[in-house]
Amino acid sequence: MSDHREPPAMPVQAFEPPYYLAVFTAVRTADQDGYRETNARLEDSVRSIPGYLGMDYAQSPAGLAITVAYFRDAEALDRWRTDLEHRAAQRRGRAQWYRSYSLHVAKVERSHGFTREG
């Protein structure tokens, strides 16, 4: 189902606020030509950005895909937003891959994590 590399089944941790996150929610079209390759390149690219903290990804059976990317500060997120290959992928996404999407860029004010013992 996932076109992403299978992520480890662990959520990205809660960091010390403030930090930033971008929630990208999308429903894709039937034409996914080139999506997988572009996505793999972009995943490598975002990892190289100083201040990139991690990414959560999941897709529902009905086809809703949620990506949450975490960044240490607004500068790191802005560097990702304005990355040239990312911008080209955004244009191609609107032209070809996405039926509908929403982007929410937000500053984390509070966070909390839990991991079961043992």
Q: For residue 13, what are the contacts with CB-CB under 8 A and spacing of at least 6?
A: 54, 113
Instruction: Using CB under 8 A, pick the residue from 35, 49, 52, 70 that binds its own copies.
Output: 70
| Cβ 93 vs Cβ 29: under 8 Å | no
The residue among 42 and 108 lying less far from its own copies, judged by its C-beta, is 108
Looking up tokens 């560097």 gives 79
Considering the complex, what minimum distance in angstroms separates the CB of residue 14 from its own copies?
5
**Rule CB under 8 A: which of 76-115 touch its own copies?**
94, 98-115
Q: How far is CA 8 from the centre of its chain?
A: 15
Contact between 38 and its own copies by CB under 8 A: the answer reads no
With CA atoms as reference, report the closest residue to 49 among 21, 89, 78. Answer: 78
Binding site for its own copies (CB under 8 A): 1-2, 6-14, 20-21, 23, 25-27, 29, 56-66, 68, 70, 94, 98-116
